[in-house]
Amino acid sequence: MPSFRIASLASSGLARSFTTTARRLEIRDVSELPNRIVPNYKNSPTSSLLSLEWPSPPRNVLIVPKLYAPLVISSAVEFAKHIHSEYPNLHLIFEQRIASTIHDSLPFPIYSSDPTHFPTKIDLVATLGGDGTILRAASLFSLHASVPPILSFSMGTLGFLGEWKFEEYKRAWREVYMSGSRVGVSDLQGPHTQAATNGWNDGGNDAVGTREGWATIRGKNMGTTRASKILLRHRLKVGVYDENGANINAHLMPTSTAALTQPLHPVPPEIKELSNTGEPVVPDLHAINELVIHRGPNPHLAIVDVYVGNRFLTEAVADGILISTPTGSTAYSLSAGGTIIHPLTKTMLLTPICARTLSFRHLCLPLNKKVVLKVSKKNRGRELEVSIDGKRRAGVTIGMEIRVTGEVVGQVGDDDTWTGGVPCVIRSSGQGDEGDDDDGWVGGLNERLKFNYPVG
Ligand X SMILES: NC(=O)C1=CN([C@@H]2O[C@H](COP(=O)(O)OP(=O)(O)OC[C@H]3O[C@@H](n4cnc5c(N)ncnc54)[C@H](O)[C@@H]3O)[C@@H](O)[C@H]2O)C=CC1
Q: Are 386 and 402 in contact (CB under 8 A)?
A: yes
Shortest reach from residue 133's CB to ligand X, in Å: 8
Torsion sign over Cα 212, 217, 219, 223: negative
163 sits near a second copy (criterion: CB under 8 A): no
Beta bridge partners of 351: 322
Q: Are 161 and 97 in contact (CB under 8 A)?
A: no
Binding mask 283-322 for ligand X (x = CB under 6 A): ------xx---------xx----------------xx---
Give the one residue of 332, 403, 422, 425 binding a second copy; rule: CB under 8 A: 332
Q: Are 393 and 253 in contact (CB under 8 A)?
A: yes
| Distance separating alpha carbons of residues 252 and 387, to the nearest angstrom | 10
182 sits near a second copy (criterion: CB under 8 A): no
Give the one residue of 77, 248, 354, 445 binding ligand X; rule: CB under 6 A: 354
In terms of CB distance, is 95 or 290 closer to ligand X? Answer: 290
213 sits near ligand X (criterion: CB under 6 A): no
Query: For the chain, how big is the Rg over CA atoms in Å?
Result: 23
336 sits near a second copy (criterion: CB under 8 A): yes
408 sits near a second copy (criterion: CB under 8 A): no
Shortest reach from residue 42's CB to ligand X, in Å: 26
Residue type at 435?
G
In terms of CB distance, is 105 or 446 closer to a second copy? Answer: 446
> Considering CB distances under 5 to 8 angstroms, the limit depending on partner class, which of ligand X, a second copy, none binds residue 366?
a second copy
The region that residue 223 occupies, defined by phi over 0 for left and psi between -120 and 50 for alpha, beta otherwise, is left
Q: CB-hemisphere CA count at 13 Å for 363?
A: 17
Give the one residue of 357, 378, 410, 430 binding a second copy; rule: CB under 8 A: 357
H-state helical runs in 50-194: 70-86, 96-102, 118-121, 131-139, 169-178
Shortest reach from residue 286's CB to ligand X, in Å: 13
In terms of CB distance, is 61 or 317 closer to a second copy? Answer: 317
Shortest reach from residue 161's CB to ligand X, in Å: 5
- Enumerate residues 363-392 that contact a second copy by CB under 8 A: 363-366, 368-369, 385, 387, 390-392
Shortest reach from residue 421's CB to a second copy, in Å: 15
| Distance separating alpha carbons of residues 425 and 82, to the nearest angstrom | 19
Vertex 218, ends 216 and 219: CA angle to 5°? 155
Shortest reach from residue 454's CB to a second copy, in Å: 6
133 sits near a second copy (criterion: CB under 8 A): no
How many of the chain's residues bind ligand X (CB under 6 A)?
24
Query: Measured between alpha carbons, how far is residue 41 from residues 173, 189, 290, 421, 445 in Å?
Result: 18, 25, 25, 12, 26
- Enumerate residues 392-451 that contact ligand X by CB under 6 A: none
Q: In this chain, which stretch among 73-81, 174-182, 184-192, 448-456 interacts with a second copy, using CB under 8 A? A: 448-456
Vertex 405, ends 404 and 406: CA angle to 5°? 140
- Enumerate residues 40-69 that contact a second copy by CB under 8 A: 48
Give the one residue of 114, 362, 376, 419 binding a second copy; rule: CB under 8 A: 362
In terms of CB distance, is 93 or 331 closer to ligand X? Answer: 331
Shortest reach from residue 415's CB to a second copy, in Å: 24
Please state whether beta strands 311-324 and 347-355 pair in parallel, antiparallel, or not at all (unpaired): antiparallel
Q: Are 125 and 144 in contact (CB under 8 A)?
A: no
Residue type at 340?
I
In terms of CB distance, is 45 or 278 closer to a second copy? Answer: 45
Q: Are 291 and 306 in contact (CB under 8 A)?
A: no
> Considering CB distances under 5 to 8 angstroms, the limit depending on partner class, which of ligand X, a second copy, none binds residue 118?
none
- Enumerate residues 322-351 that contact ligand X by CB under 6 A: 327-328, 330-332, 335
| Distance separating alpha carbons of residues 158 and 383, to the nearest angstrom | 36
Shortest reach from residue 180's CB to ligand X, in Å: 27
Please state whether beta strands 27-29 and 110-112 pair in parallel, antiparallel, or not at all (unpaired): parallel
How many of the chain's residues bind a second copy (CB under 8 A)?
75
| Distance separating alpha carbons of residues 34 and 43, to the nearest angstrom | 28
| Distance separating alpha carbons of residues 218 and 198, to the nearest angstrom | 10
Give the one residue of 34, 58, 109, 159 binding ligand X; rule: CB under 6 A: 159
Q: Which residues bind ligand X (CB under 6 A)?
A: 130-132, 135, 159-161, 289-290, 300-301, 318-319, 327-328, 330-332, 335, 354, 356, 389-390, 456
